[in-house]
């Protein structure tokens, strides 16, 4: 940590504290997100391995997801809806090597990206999110505008990508930490989601 400059005015003190807080919040949000993504990947792995019972392939049964959803919700609280567990399972299937998971993307990014039609489209959106620093809202906008499909059909690929860049917004640490998936992962009750963190 760096020392406070000598003879700093009061406004400089406020500014230095503000910078320190921003850096700390950014690191904390990044650390929580990394753990959330890694934990969901591991949960997905456990589900798939349990389904396979040591076999190469498995018959996917929604009964397991239904039962897990009920039991995990009772024991650990929110975050284990049927749809979330389905996405967690799919996350592991699409990214079966943890090294292929991007540290830049949040679980909310992956939740949206996994709605894509095929592996090529999934990889496209992962790379674009990394490259363009897309927020989850921007990712949704791009997917709804079918940028991948327009790009695949277009002869003017650079033009389509240039259009896709409009509307990008910076994802602040506050936005990341207020993500409902982060709160569920941390076990923070819903009524506390937006109080006390950045006020």
Structure confidence by residue, pLDDT tens digits, 7-50? 889 999 999 999 999 999 989 988 998 999 999 999 999 999 99
Q: State in Å, rounded, how far the first CA of the chain is from the last one.
A: 25
Residue 58 has a pLDDT of 55
Q: What is the mean pLDDT of residues 81-91?
A: 94
pTM: 0.71
Token code pair at residue 80: 């284990």
DSSP count for the chain of H helices, then E strands: 10, 0
Nearest to 93 by CA among 57, 36, 42, 48: 48
CA 104, CA 108: separation in Å to the nearest integer? 12
* For residue 176, pLDDT beyond 50: no
Q: What kind and span of H or E run contains 41?
A: helix 10-52
Report d(CA 24, CA 20) in Å as an integer.
6
Q: Mean of the pLDDT values across residues 144-164?
A: 70
Predicted confidence at residue 194, as pLDDT, reads 42
Q: pLDDT averaged over the chain?
A: 80
Separation of alpha carbons 34 and 50, rounded Å: 24
């Amino acid at each position: 940590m760096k020392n406070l400059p000598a003879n700093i005015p009061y406004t400089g003190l406020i500014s230095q504290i503000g910078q320190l807080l921003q850096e700390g919040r950014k690191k904390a949000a990044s650390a929580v997100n990394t753990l959330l993504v890694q934990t969901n990947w591991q949960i997905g792995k456990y589900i798939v391995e349990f389904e396979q019972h040591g076999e190469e392939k498995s018959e996917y049964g929604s009964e397991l997801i239904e039962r897990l959803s009920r039991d995990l919700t009772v024991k650990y609280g929110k975050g284990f809806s049927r749809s979330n567990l389905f996405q967690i399972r799919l996350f592991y299937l699409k990214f079966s090597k943890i090294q292929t998971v991007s540290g830049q993307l949040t679980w909310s990014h992956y939740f949206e990206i996994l709605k894509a039609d095929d592996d090529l489209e999934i990889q496209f959106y992962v790379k674009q999110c990394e490259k363009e620093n897309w927020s989850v809202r921007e990712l949704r906008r791009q997917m709804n505008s079918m940028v991948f499909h327009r790009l695949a059909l277009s002869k003017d690929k650079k033009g389509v990508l240039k259009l896709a860049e409009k509307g990008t917004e910076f994802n602040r640490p506050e936005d990341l930490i207020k993500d409902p998936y982060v709160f569920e992962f941390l076990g923070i009750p819903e009524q506390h989601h937006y109080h006390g963190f950045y006020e």
